[in-house]
Structure 1
Amino acid sequence: MEKLKHHIFVCNSARMNGEVKGVCNSKESIEIIQNFAEEISDRELDAEVMVTSTGCLGLCTQGPVVIVYPEGVWYGKVTPDDVEEIVESHIEGGEIVSRLEI
């Protein structure tokens, strides 16, 4: 695998004991993960961008939380509808989506 340009982490509220519960999971984090995967595939960015589901990130009041590396930008209260904008603006355009930034 070549070096990634971006790695996107999406909180899915999994706990250390394996339980999946919490704010992010209850607010469509699975759909957010799926939307990222589809957008990345549709834009043929598979070799450059990876999406990973994470356990609880501890910012439940800001959930669903998405982190984009290598920049280390944290987005909060992300909805499935925000995914296209994040991919287009941040991943492809290099511009942080300030309205979602934590």
Structure 2
Amino acid sequence: MPKPEKHVFVCVQNRGPGHPRGSCMQSGTAEIWDEFAYNFQQKNLNGRFALSNTGCLGPCNGPHVLVYPEGVMYGKVGKEDVAAIVDEHLLGGTPVERLMLPPEIWG
């Protein structure tokens, strides 16, 4: 298998209802994961790009999606945002600015 151009990580952390930090699963990330998987299948992206689910990515204002190698973190992603991430960022090479978290999240 060749090295993927980009790798998409979708947080599926589940801390359960009432946890003080919350979790992406409680914010609806299951729909987001399903939508990414559907887009990858429909657009024949498997192999060219990698898609993985993951635990907590750090900040807790999810659902979160992280794209490497750029290290672009998206926050409060909705099912309706997946097509923009796939089309604009993965295929077009331009991150979706309206969904990007500020670089300070890494500080």
Same topology, TM > 0.5: yes
Alignment of 1:45-84 (within 5 A): 45-60=45-60, 62-84=61-83
Q: Secondary structure at the match of 2:12?
A: strand
> Which residue does the alignment assign to 1:98?
97
Q: Which has more strand, going by share of residues?
A: 1
Q: Give 1:41 shift.
A: 1.2
TM-score computed with the length of structure 2 as normaliser: 0.84
Q: Give 1:34 shift.
A: 1.1
Give deviations 1:10-44, integer Å, cap 9, x for gaps: 11114xxxxx5333101111111111111011111
Q: Secondary structure at the match of 1:51?
A: strand
Size of the alignment, in residue pairs?
A: 96
Pick 1 or 2: higher relative contact order, CA cutoff 8 A, min separation 6.
1
Moved over 6 A (4+): none
Where do 5+ consecutive residues of structure 2 fail to align?
17-21, 102-107
TM-score computed with the length of structure 1 as normaliser: 0.87
Give me the identity figure in percent.
44
Q: Which amino acid aligns with 1:25?
A: M
Give deviations 1:30-74, integer Å, cap 9, x for gaps: 1111111110111111111111111112211x2111000111100
> Which residue does the alignment assign to 2:38?
38
Where do 5+ consecutive residues of structure 1 fail to align?
15-19
How far apart, in 2, do the equivalents of 1:80 and 1:42 lie?
A: 16
